[in-house]
């Protein structure tokens, strides 16, 4: 049986042979290989093969060109900003996103506590008619360190015999006063018992806060809560004189998110869920003590200093 010859890559000397004894043509042997078969096929059927190849190229062009040139076809509709807006609206209609205020509320809620100052030694803090009739001071606080350190207003706990807290998960605890900053109406509380999953709020500097920025106030107005109200920063560097005239608070954040008695000590929160102030007062031109659209908060820089934390 004949074998296909193996070719070495190195040159080799071939002995000269007489012209009469020339080597026979090896085409028949080569035809047994795949390369020889293709060569033979191309030689025998050259014209049909070229025709077939041309037909394939023509078909490819017919299929590809309409897609490649579709943006330039007469009558083609280019994608516009209105098309994109319509697609976005359709997507939002199918699955509406939560509002920025709702997201901010959910972020800070685990850190908001209800604060009750018990003014009578006989008041156990229980929610019973005979207990509720006793003198109490109601407010809100916010956890700033997960070891149970809480900021609130000094006027919420001033003169209290005991201070009672209710965390966001419903767990209750007593607290002790560990610090105060009367010039900013701030008090620092330390809870005696803590929930296992207690979370501290995230605080941020007010250096980039501007009038018109959206904020929420979270607290327990009139004991109802936790409640959230939504508004904007109305002004900065405001002053407020307490109704008794005892002190004047300065460098305050003015806001118009609804606040009422019970909101005192609660957080003022930006749309990223971060605390920029502690709600401390509302403007009351009448004796009804209801919100008329002007509230004030102590900047968080002052509040952090009251808790012994470095300023931003």
Residue 42 annotated in active site: no
Name all contacts of 7-13 with Cβ < 8 Å and 24+ positions apart: none
Q: The tokens of 66 are what? A: 């309409």
Residue 214 annotated in active site: no
> Residues 137, 131: contact at Cβ < 8 Å?
no
> Residues 171, 163: contact at Cβ < 8 Å?
no
The SS3 call for residue 284 is: coil
Q: What angle do CA 269, 274, 278 make, to 5 degrees?
A: 50
Q: What angle do CA 182, 187, 189 make, to 5 degrees?
A: 160
User: H or E element: which one contains 114?
Assistant: strand 112-118
> Residues 162, 130: contact at Cβ < 8 Å?
no
Q: The tokens of 68 are what? A: 């490649």
Q: The tokens of 239 are what? A: 């002053």
**Phi, psi for 227 (deg, rounded to 5):** -120, 155
> Residues 140, 264: contact at Cβ < 8 Å?
yes
CA atoms within 13 A on the CB side of 224: 8
Residue 264 annotated in active site: yes
Q: How many CB atoms lie within 10 A of CB 74?
A: 4
Q: Which residue out of 111, 137, 173, 264 is catalytically annotated? A: 264
| Beta pairing class for 227-241 and 162-166 | unpaired
Q: Which residue out of 185, 220, 227, 234 is catalytically annotated? A: 185
Q: Which residue out of 111, 123, 155, 227 is catalytically annotated? A: 155
**Buried-state track 10-37, b at ≥16 Cβ within 10 A, e below 16:** eeeeeeeeeeeeeeeeeeeeeeeeeebe
Q: How many CB atoms lie within 10 A of CB 258?
A: 19
Tell me the catalytic residues.
155, 185, 264
């Amino acid at each position: 049986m004949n074998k296909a010859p193996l070719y070495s890559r190195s040159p080799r000397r071939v002995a000269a042979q007489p012209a009469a004894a020339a080597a026979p043509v090896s085409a028949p042997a080569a035809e047994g290989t795949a390369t020889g078969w293709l060569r033979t096929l191309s030689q025998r059927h050259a014209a049909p093969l070229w025709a077939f190849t041309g037909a394939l190229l023509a078909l490819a062009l017919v299929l590809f060109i309409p897609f490649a040139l579709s943006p330039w076809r007469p009558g083609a509709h280019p994608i516009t900003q209105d098309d994109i807006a319509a697609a976005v609206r359709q997507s939002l209609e199918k699955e509406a996103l939560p509002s920025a205020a709702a997201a901010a509320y959910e972020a800070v809620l685990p850190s908001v506590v209800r604060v009750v100052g018990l003014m009578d030694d006989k008041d156990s803090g229980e929610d019973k008619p005979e207990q509720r009739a006793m003198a109490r001071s109601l407010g809100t606080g916010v956890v700033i360190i997960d070891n149970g350190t809480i900021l609130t207003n000094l006027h919420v706990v001033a003169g209290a015999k005991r201070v009672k807290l209710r965390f966001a998960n419903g767990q209750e605890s007593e607290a002790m006063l560990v610090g105060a900053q009367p010039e900013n109406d701030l008090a620092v509380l330390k809870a005696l018992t803590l929930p296992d999953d207690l979370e501290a709020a995230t605080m941020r500097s007010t250096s980039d806060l501007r009038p018109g920025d959206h904020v929420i106030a979270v607290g327990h107005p009139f004991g109802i809560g936790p409640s959230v109200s939504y508004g904007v920063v109305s002004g900065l560097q405001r002053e407020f004189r307490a109704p008794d005239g005892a002190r004047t608070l300065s460098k305050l954040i003015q806001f118009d998110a609804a606040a009422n008695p019970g909101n005192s000590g609660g957080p003022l929160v930006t749309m990223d869920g971060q605390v920029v102030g502690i709600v401390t007062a509302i403007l009351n031109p009448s004796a009804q003590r209801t919100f008329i659209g002007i509230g004030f908060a102590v900047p968080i820089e002052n509040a952090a200093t009251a808790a012994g934390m470095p300023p931003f």
